[in-house]
Amino acid sequence: MIDPFTLFVVAVLAMVAITANAAESQPRIRPFLYFFLAALNVALVVTLLPAAAQNGAIFGVSVGCAAAASLLLALPVRRALARVLPRPDEGGIGFNPESPIQMTGLVLCVYLIANVLLTFVAAGGISGLSQDLQENATLEAGSLLAQMGIFAAFGFLGVGFGQRRTLTATLDRLGLRAPTVREVMIGAVTAVGMILINLFILSAWIVLAPPEVVEQQTQASNVLGNRLDTLFVGFMVAFTAAVGEEIAFRGALQPAFGIGLTSLVFAMAHVQYTFTPLALIILVLSFVLGQLRKQYHTTTAIVAHFLYNFGLVAISLYAQYFVTQFPLVR
């Protein structure tokens, strides 16, 4: 399950999201929100000072991310971002630099990226990250469902469920509804296409890159891949990731921040692929899922995301089975 410190951090950030939603309609709350976020930016650096004393890179990352999050509190900075992010439509969906909740969403995205970068540098790079994942990564059903719940909860809280929107309005804002047969088929075809793109990019990389580079840069992802040893585990990983991530990224963030920024944050959130060519696949996948969300609904993106993840696991497992059962005769 999720450790107590992580639960504490999640609870604090959930309170930030609730406060930000309240500040949308109550201007008197906004100074408290600014103070809350500024305090968190300072805490990001201060709490890491002991670790930073041992690793200077940790100090650099924490200060850099805290500075970026602090800049986003400045209205002129958000107005500059508004030039490249989606403009609000007639329903008010789009990026509004004056919005407290969207400001908070940007800051939370910085925190998510900070967590990825800090995990990477604290582990000592790719080799250390793979060892850390080997020792600490868990694929238990309870832990996976908890992670899905956290992503989904922030998606619902972010769009104002229970504060600014009813359940029906929240589901509509998140793009969640029962998919039609046509949308399921579109999701399935998209998943197959992405699997083929995945295999093409990986094949080209393996052929073109030196073997030692391929081995080094896939250590972390191989650790997780080796733990996906049954179809049930693969199903749970694929299902929880698809539902939780799509609600948070495509459902909540994309309508406000656009496909481009959302995809960059999505790619950075996958720590096991960070700083390797595999990140390109995740980035391409995110753009494709973003288009599905834009043209159809988040549920269509969930279908495609799930079938893509589960399809890769199934291919890997059945490939291992056939290699084991039918070894090449020399």
Q: Average pLDDT, stretch 174-202? A: 94
For residue 64, give the amino acid letter: G
Q: Average pLDDT, stretch 232-257? A: 95
301-318 burial, b for 16+ CB within 10 Å, e for fewer?
A: bbbbbbbbbbbbbbeebe
| Beta-carbon-side half-sphere exposure of residue 20 (alpha carbons within 13 Å) | 27
CA distance 304 to 184: 8
**Per-residue pLDDT reduced to its tens digit, 110-141:** 999 998 888 888 877 666 666 666 666 667 88
Instruction: Calculate the average pLDDT of the chain.
Output: 87
Question: Band of the pLDDT at 233, cuts 50, 70, 90?
Answer: confident
**Per-residue pLDDT reduced to its tens digit, 47-56:** 999 988 888 8
Question: Given a cut of 70, is residue 222 above it in pLDDT?
Answer: no
Question: Given a cut of 60, is residue 57 above it in pLDDT?
Answer: yes
For the chain, give the percent of residues with pLDDT over 70: 85
Look at residues 62, 125, 84, 61 and name the one whose alpha carbon lies nearest to residue 264.
84
CA 291 to chain centre: 17
Angle made by CA atoms 270, 274, 277, in degrees to the nearest 5 = 115
The position carrying tokens 């080209």 is: 204
Question: Band of the pLDDT at 330, cuts 50, 70, 90?
Answer: very low
pLDDT given for residue 202 in this prediction: 80
Contact 58, 52 (CB under 8 A): yes
Contact 58, 121 (CB under 8 A): yes
Q: What is the pTM of this model?
A: 0.91
Q: Average pLDDT, stretch 188-203? A: 91
Question: Band of the pLDDT at 15, cuts 50, 70, 90?
Answer: very high
pLDDT given for residue 143 in this prediction: 87
